[in-house]
Amino acid sequence: MTPERKRLSREESRQQTRHRLLAAAAELFTERGVNGTSVEQIAERAGYTRGAFYGNFEDKNALVAELLHDRTRRELEEVRSLTEGAASGADALDKLRAWNRDRAQHLPQWLALRMELVLYALRNDALRPLLAERELLARDAHATGLEQAFTSRGVASPADPAFLALIVHALEDGLLIQRLLAPDGIQDDVVVDAFGLLLRSWTALAQQAPAGEGDGQAPPSQR
């Protein structure tokens, strides 16, 4: 006799429905784009009716907003858990390298979805501020990591950590696009290699700076 399946509470059932709708939307956005996907298609892929969609989301914009938030939060939590449990800076880079190699296994889908969400938000006045907020969360996480790295190396940041984080964050997107276009010539962990090189260069720059000049400012256009 099979064990009786636990009955979900009303809230658990609602959360399960939202999760399935978000997962279905992510798949369809990757395959067809956000504009090429209808509410009906999302509901059908998730195994629900159109009414179930509108019982959880006001419209497709609301779902995109939730997907942006969910992806950013989940990835930040994954990276934070890796680096917080690292025994040293080198160990943290090794863990990040392994995480990037795992991500490379589904990079086409991951990057296609990211680009679709970014483009959709850029074209939508209501969603653009939300996209900016989520990107700032990612940059803040980079800035915190950089400050911790500089502190562990006994140097002050050679420039505003927020500016350095902007460089790292923008470089990651560009490198991943190049990795996808030329997989045979670019390693899966290219992002970590680039970050390590920047960190060594910035550390050397900070070590060479006269006392009191290690905390440089960002260029005027970045202030």
d(CA 186, CA 203): 25
Identify the residue whose tokens are 């995480």.
99
Determine contact, residues 136/128, Cβ cutoff 8 Å: no
d(CA 165, CA 142): 5
pLDDT of the residue at 78: 86
Determine contact, residues 189/95, Cβ cutoff 8 Å: no
Q: How far apart are the first and last CA of the chain?
A: 67
Q: Which helix or strand (DSSP H or E) is residue 185 part of? A: none
pLDDT of the residue at 211: 55
Contacts of 5-8 with C-beta under 8 Å, sequence gap 24+, read: none
d(CA 161, CA 152): 15
Determine contact, residues 115/94, Cβ cutoff 8 Å: no
pTM: 0.81
d(CA 207, CA 222): 24
Statement: residue 143 has pLDDT above 70: yes
pLDDT of the residue at 73: 87
- Residue 64 has what DSSP assignment? H
Determine contact, residues 173/112, Cβ cutoff 8 Å: no
Greatest C-alpha distance within the chain:
76
**Pair of tokens at residue 34:** 């956000």
DSSP 144-212: HHHHHHHHHTT---SS-HHHHHHHHHHHHHHHHHHHHH-TTTS-TTHHHHHHHHHHHHHHHHHHHSPTT
Convert the pLDDT of each residue in 7-62 to its tens digit: 767 787 888 999 999 999 999 999 999 999 999 999 999 999 999 999 999 999 99
pLDDT of the residue at 221: 47
